[in-house]
């Protein structure tokens, strides 16, 4: 019993320390967007889709395709890991992330509305799927 | 030749035979005349009426389950986006 409590306490302390460490370095450690991606995004060439991936809004070019494909492959890998950990399917997790990613767009950026059309994010809330929280 | 032999063995259906069968059945049914209402009432008493579910209910359930999952994943997905700011 004592041993078990000790282990539990150690685990809790370890988790707390880990959380503190992550929280402490969170800001500076998180990588920023690639400038080419950032520019295409703010120019409205690339938008957030409902399914959790990026899409080319208009004027498809080879360089835009490269940016979108490269990021979508990375997103898929992240979704896959996180979905497994959360006991959900890849599609469910990606969709949930899409809800959040559309919510996090800033005015001027493009996102996909529930009817499939591309919309420009305004000052208000974006149009999202009714299943989004 | 063989065909004739087979036909010869089979008993021909005659009006008399058919009437006999009918009579036998009629007698049997008559014997059960008291038992039948009892059986029927028993069956009715133990009967639970179950209506077939409408299709719309099934679809609604699917939507609810999915939405529930999305709600459950919302916070996790939000953190994932923040932790991978370079690809979001």
Does pTM top 0.95 for this prediction? no
Q: Confirm or reject contact between A133 and chain B (CB < 8 A).
A: yes
The answer to whether the complex's ipTM is over 0.90 is: no
Tokens of A122: 């305004």
- The tally of domains found in chain B comes to 1
What is the domain range of residue A72? 32-118
Asked whether residue B81 carries a pLDDT value surpassing 70, the answer given is yes
Average pLDDT of the segment spanning B13-30: 48
Q: Give contacts of A93 with chain B, Cβ < 8 Å.
A: 73, 76-77
Is A22 a domain residue? no
A10 within a domain of the structure (yes/no): no
Tally of domains in chain A: 1
Q: What is the pLDDT of residue A127?
A: 96
Q: Name the minimum distance, in Å, from the CA of A52 to any CA of chain B.
A: 10
pLDDT, residue A41, reads 96
| Residue B40 confidence (pLDDT) above 50 | yes
Answer yes or no: is A81 within a domain.
yes
Pairing of strands A118-120, A54-56: unpaired
Q: How far is CA A73 from CA A10, A53, A66, in A?
A: 38, 9, 11
In a domain, A111, yes or no: yes
* Per-residue confidence (pLDDT) for residue A17, from 0 to 100: 47
A125 domain-assigned: no
State yes or no: pLDDT of B32 exceeds 70. no
Q: Is residue A124 part of a domain?
A: no
Compute the residue count for chain B: 88
Residue-range definition of the domain harbouring residue B46: 2-87
Mean confidence (pLDDT) of chain A: 85
Tell me how far apart the alpha carbons of residues A80 and A90 are, in angstroms, rounded to a whole number: 5
Structure confidence at residue A37 as a pLDDT band (50, 70, 90): very high
State residue B20 phi and psi, 5-degree precision.
Answer: -60, -45
> How far is A114 from A85, CA to CA, in rounded Å?
28
Which 3-state string (H, E, C) describes B60-77? Answer: HHHHHHHHHHHHHHHHHH
d(CA A118, CA A105): 13
Instruction: Report the pLDDT averaged over residues A99-118.
Output: 96
Residue A90 lies in a domain: yes
A123 occurs within a structural domain: no
Contact A100, B81 (CB under 8 A): yes
Rounded Cα distance between A106 and A63, Å, is 23
Cβ contact (<8 Å) for A86 and B76? Answer: yes
């Amino acid at each position: 019993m004592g041993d078990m409590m000790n282990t539990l306490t150690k685990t809790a302390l370890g988790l707390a320390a880990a959380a503190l460490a992550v929280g402490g370095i969170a800001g500076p450690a998180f990588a920023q967007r690639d400038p080419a991606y950032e520019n295409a995004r703010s120019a409205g060439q690339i938008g957030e889709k409902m399914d959790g991936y990026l899409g080319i809004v208009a004027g498809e070019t080879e360089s835009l395709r490269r940016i979108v494909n490269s990021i979508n492959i990375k997103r898929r890998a992240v979704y896959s890991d996180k979905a497994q950990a959360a006991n959900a399917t890849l599609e469910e997790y990606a969709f949930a992330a899409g809800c959040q990613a559309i919510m996090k767009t800033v005015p001027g950026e493009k996102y996909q509305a529930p009817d499939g059309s591309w919309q420009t994010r305004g000052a208000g809330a974006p149009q999202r799927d009714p299943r989004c929280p | 030749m063989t065909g004739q032999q087979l036909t010869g063995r089979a008993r021909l259906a005659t009006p008399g035979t058919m009437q006999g069968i009918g009579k036998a059945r009629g007698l049997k049914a008559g014997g059960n005349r008291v038992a039948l209402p009892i059986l029927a009432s028993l069956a009715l008493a133990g009967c639970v009426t179950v209506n077939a579910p409408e299709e719309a209910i099934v679809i609604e359930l699917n939507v609810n389950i999915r939405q529930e999952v999305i709600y459950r994943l919302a916070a996790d997905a939000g953190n994932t986006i923040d932790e991978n700011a370079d690809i979001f």
